[in-house]
Structure 1
Amino acid sequence: MDRQTEQRQSKLFVNNMVESAIRIGLLVLLLSFTYDIIKPFIIPVLWGAIIAVALLPLTKKLERSLGGKRGLASTLVALIGISVLVIPFVLVSGSIYDGVAHTTEVLQGGEIKIPGPTAKVAEIPIIGDKLYSIWNLFATNLEKGIQQFLPEIKGFLGAIASILGGALTSLIMFIISLAIAGGFMAHAEKISGALETVAVRAVGKKAEQWANLMAATIRSVLLGVVGVAFIQSAIIGAAMFVFQVPAAGLLTLATLILCIAQLPALLIVAPVIFYVYSTGDGTSTTIFTIWALAGGLSDNFLKPMLMGRGVDVPMPIILIGAIGGMLFAGIIGLFLGAIVLAIWYELFLFWINYESQSELSEQPEQAESAEDYRI
């Protein structure tokens, strides 16, 4: 009888295990198909949520001006954001197209003339002599220079085409994200209520505090990264326009993109300084160099001032999370990395405080038990 019971239990265990494995396998398969379906929308929805959190205070102010019409306010904010993205892109694209068309006409007509380098170019440390010889080759014999550096020119043009294609893809993605952000802002209270219910069920009573922390972190990174990038590019761009650097608008836009991507603005500033140094006089070159370098290095003191404002998390943690997240997941990692490290910091503080509270709560009981043993 015992043996039959044992066999029956063993068979029941195997059946339950097989049935559970089948259910888990089907669930994994369902999740896999679901992920493949929603994968193209994950990044736009994440960006939409980030933009909505960042622009919601502005939307609420506009809502009060429009008599409480949240839908109209969020639509206007989204349309303004799309205009801010599309108009500069169209202007820059048109400028690039006109420049390429003009260059093609000049090349076909054989009228192109490149001014020769001055003696100052050769005096530039390390690269001066080589730069002078290459520049002089293109100025004196353009056809020979193109033939000699044809592979490099093709690679450069291919890189430019790739950058423009990526910029167009990013522009479309951000337009979609702004549209999604408009929907999020229009129904912010309902969405936040539903997310809070899910978050409380998942992580407990700390969910609301962490949600506020995430929102504050997003705004902090937006101010400390994007805000600083705009300030830097404005300073450097003003210098380029004042000193009439060719393609100043395009270089300013490239500087803004580099600064948002947390790359040093000196990647663009340094070549421009060399150009101004080779074509201008000593006084103007010195003024431009100081001006441009001040803009390129301004993030060293602007980020500590702006990043971390409104967040009860040390600025280095936010900055490390933003930079590390960007290296791991691109531009969106700026926000996700900072949020993840901020939550881990709060978890660490909660663990420290929990241990301290546990020790304090145990001390009275220990004291009472010690009194009991005294005679």
Structure 2
Amino acid sequence: MDKQIEQRQSKLFINNMVESAIRIGLLILLINFTYGIIKPFIIPVLWGAIIAVALLPLTKRLEKTYGGKRGLAATTVALIGIGILVVPFALVSGSLYEGVTHTTEVLQSGEIKIPGPTAKIAEIPVIGDKLYSIWNLFSTNLEKGIQQFLPEIKGFLGAIASILGGALTSLVMFIISLAIAGGFMAHAEKISGALETVAVRAVGKKAEQWANLMAATIRSVLLGVVGVAFIQAVIIGAAMFVFKVPAAGFLTLTILILCIAQLPALLIVAPVIFYVYSTGDGTSTTLFTIWALAGGLSDNFLKPMLMGRGVDVPMPVILIGAIGGMLFAGIIGLFLGAIVLAIWYELFLFWLDYEVADESKPEVTEDSSPQEPS
């Protein structure tokens, strides 16, 4: 009798286990299929939400000017953002394209003349001799030099084409994200209420504090890091375009990446100033130097103005987020990675402080209740 009961229970257990495995498998397949559908929209929606959180205060101010028309205010902010993106992109892309086209035309005409290297080049440690021989080859026999280094030249041109293609894709992604951000800002209250309900179910009573911290971190990093980097790149890039520095578009893009990664813009500005001094006259070089240095050092007063109070994200966190984001999602990941990693950093610190605060509270027991005086 006991054996029959044991067999029946074993059979029932196996049936339940198989049924549960089938249900879990079907759920995993459904989740995987759903993820495949929404995967192309994850980054634009996430970036749109971040932009909406950062620009919502500006939209609310503009809403008052428009007499309470939130949709019109959100649309105006989104269109201004698109314009700010498209104009610099067109200038940078045009500069890169013109530089490549001009170089190709000069090479095809055979009129290019490269000055020979000086003896000081060979004295450079480690790379001096090799650099001298390569430079001397191109200055004395350009055709032979091109034939010898043709694979490297093709690789370089292919890299430039890849950068332009990736930049164009990122621009389209930015435009889509700004359009999504406009929709989020237009219906901010409804979306905020729905997200708050989900957050309370997922996190508990701390949801409101966590949400406020995330919003503060987003505004701080987007304005204090990405915004400052964009302003610096525009100021320095404008100087290079005005004074017709070669490859101004590529250098501007490089400065933007460096500034987002919290590295000094002077790493690019200093060699450019040296080049301008060696090729231009005194007045123009002085003006360019003042202009470029002002842009390179502008983060010292822009960050205190734009960086939110109480949110201080260390440079390694921003650097890892920017580089990792760029490797994961291209140029748009450069912006997105820094923000997402900063949010996790601040949430982690908040969680640590919260746990410490909870442990420091005295426990209230029945014995510790105040007694009435006898």
TM-score of the two chains, using structure 2 as the length reference: 0.81
Q: Which residue is equivalent to 1:46?
A: 46
Q: CA deviation at 1:327?
A: 3.6
Report how many residues are paired: 362
Distance 1:277 1:320 in 2: 34
The answer to whether the Cα contact below 8 Å between 2:74 and 2:186 also exists between their aligned partners in 1 is yes
Q: Which residue is equivalent to 1:339?
A: 343
The answer to whether the Cα contact below 8 Å between 1:322 and 1:336 also exists between their aligned partners in 2 is no
Distance 1:268 1:233 in 2: 11
Describe the shift of the 1:277–1:91 C-alpha distance in structure 2 as closer, same or farther (beyond 3 A).
closer
Matched residue type, 1:259? C
Distance 2:53 2:119 in 1: 51
Does the alignment pair 1:328 with 2:327? no
Within 5 Å, give how 1:292-311 maps onto structure 2: 296=296, 301=300, 305=304, 309-310=308-309
Q: Which residue is equivalent to 1:67?
A: 67
Within 5 Å, give how 1:56-135 maps onto structure 2: 56-114=56-114, 116=115, 122=121, 126=125, 134-135=134-135
Matched residue type, 2:97? Y
Q: CA deviation at 1:140?
A: 4.8
In structure 1, stretches of 5+ residues that fail to align are none
In structure 2, stretches of 5+ residues that fail to align are 327-333
Question: Cα deviation per residue 1:309-334 (whole Å; 9 max; x = unaligned)?
Answer: 23x44x245x4433332343332211
Describe the shift of the 1:213–1:276 C-alpha distance in structure 2 as closer, same or farther (beyond 3 A).
same
The answer to whether the Cα contact below 8 Å between 2:92 and 2:252 also exists between their aligned partners in 1 is no
Q: Which moved more, 1:168-177 or 1:261-270?
A: 261-270
Distance 2:157 2:250 in 1: 16
Q: Provide the aligned C-alpha RMSD in A.
A: 3.6
Question: Cα deviation per residue 1:76-124 (whole Å; 9 max; x = unaligned)?
Answer: 211111122222222333333344444444444333344x368697499
Distance 2:122 2:304 in 1: 39
Q: CA deviation at 1:172?
A: 1.2
Q: Which residue is equivalent to 1:361?
A: 363
Within 5 Å, give how 1:180-259 maps onto structure 2: 180-234=180-234, 236-237=236-237, 240=240, 244-259=244-259
Q: CA deviation at 1:5?
A: 3.7
The answer to whether the Cα contact below 8 Å between 1:322 and 1:334 also exists between their aligned partners in 2 is yes
Q: CA deviation at 1:249?
A: 4.8
The answer to whether the Cα contact below 8 Å between 1:118 and 1:278 also exists between their aligned partners in 2 is no
User: Alignment partner of 2:158: what SS?
Assistant: helix
Distance 1:284 1:305 in 2: 32
Distance 1:110 1:18 in 2: 76
User: Alignment partner of 2:363: what SS?
Assistant: helix
The answer to whether the Cα contact below 8 Å between 1:258 and 1:265 also exists between their aligned partners in 2 is yes
**Percentage of identical aligned residues:** 73
Describe the shift of the 1:134–1:238 C-alpha distance in structure 2 as closer, same or farther (beyond 3 A).
farther
Question: Cα deviation per residue 1:55-83 (whole Å; 9 max; x = unaligned)?
Answer: 11111111111111111111121111112
User: Alignment partner of 2:319: what SS?
Assistant: helix
Distance 2:20 2:60 in 1: 50
Within 5 Å, give how 1:23-38 maps onto structure 2: 23-38=23-38
Q: Which residue is equivalent to 2:153?
A: 153
Q: CA deviation at 1:346?
A: 0.8
User: Alignment partner of 2:165: what SS?
Assistant: helix
Distance 1:298 1:128 in 2: 36
Q: CA deviation at 1:266?
A: 4.8
Question: Cα deviation per residue 1:224-243 (whole Å; 9 max; x = unaligned)?
Answer: 21133134325544654676
Matched residue type, 1:214? M
Matched residue type, 1:65? T
Q: Which moved more, 1:79-88 or 1:164-173?
A: 79-88
Q: Which residue is equivalent to 1:163?
A: 163
Describe the shift of the 1:366–1:282 C-alpha distance in structure 2 as closer, same or farther (beyond 3 A).
farther
